[in-house]
Amino acid sequence: MDDLRHLPGWRLLGAYPDQDSDAVGSWLLHNNGEALLLEVPPGLTVDDVATGLASLGAGLRYVTASHGHEDHFDPNSWKVLEEAYHGTHFIPPTDTKEASDTLLTLGGEPLWLLKAPKHSLSDTVTAFRGVAMTGDLELGTPDSVNDEVVPATKAASMQYLRNFEDRTGYHIHTIVSAHLNDFRQGVN
């Protein structure tokens, strides 16, 4: 867990709900005074986010989640954050059967949202500063813990992710899963 706290531009707010063995990490990605909140699990509070932003000297520009399952995208927490952070761009998980890229900027630096349905139809991998947060995507296997996505879509999504660097010229060197149980550095 200590390695996770030392990723440049990535601040782990905590794992929620507290003390849960299957907790989800909530992150502030930040650069030049701007931040994106990644993952809005149950138990995340406005105070948690405000404290993290204050420690970074950053304003909240975006909020998103890796997919629409409630342990990553709690509708109640999302609503409270929307009420607290007017003017922030909220990007909710949306279902799709097609992989796609969205390029944002965060403090002038590229931030990629990569739609790649495999675990759920709303799966989105977030890439920033060479680190990719994979949500609940199981890497290295065509399988998933559920059958929400058909095998052909899973295979197409994984091929799409494998081709990301060739398509964009952007290199990923580190991956981390939403549940903080898969952390790999020096990946290609």
Domains and CATH numbers, the chain: 3-185 (3.60.15.10)
Query: Tokens for 87?
Result: 């003017």
| Residue with tokens 């500063």, as numbered in its chain | 129
pLDDT of 33 above 90: yes
Using CA atoms, how far apart are residues 58 and 48, in angstroms rounded to an integer? 14
Is residue 146 very low, low, confident or very high in pLDDT (cuts 50, 70, 90)? Answer: confident
CB 10 within 8 A of CB 52: no
Write down the mean pLDDT value for the chain: 94
- Give the mean model confidence (pLDDT) for residues 122-135: 97
Distance CA 186, CA 174 (A): 6
- Provide mean pLDDT across the span 51-65: 98
**What is the phi/psi pair of residue 166, to 5°?**
-65, -40
Q: Is the model's pLDDT at 160 over the cut of 70?
A: yes
Q: Reply yes or no on whether the pLDDT at 3 is more than 80.
A: no
Ranking 62-76, 111-125, 145-159 by mean pLDDT, the lowest is 145-159
CA distances from 23 to 16, 39, 123 (A): 5, 11, 18
Stated pTM of the model: 0.96
Query: Does position 77 have pLDDT exceeding 90, yes or no?
Result: yes
The CA–CA distances, whole Å, from 30 to 23, 95, 111, 164 equal 22, 26, 10, 22
Residue type, 187: V
pLDDT at 100: 95
Going by pLDDT thresholds of 50, 70 and 90, the confidence category of residue 2 is low
Which residues pair with residue 184 across a beta bridge? 175
Cα 183 from Cα 71, distance rounded (Å): 19
Tell me what pLDDT residue 27 has: 97
Q: Is pLDDT of 180 > 60?
A: yes
Looking at residue 141, its pLDDT comes to: 83
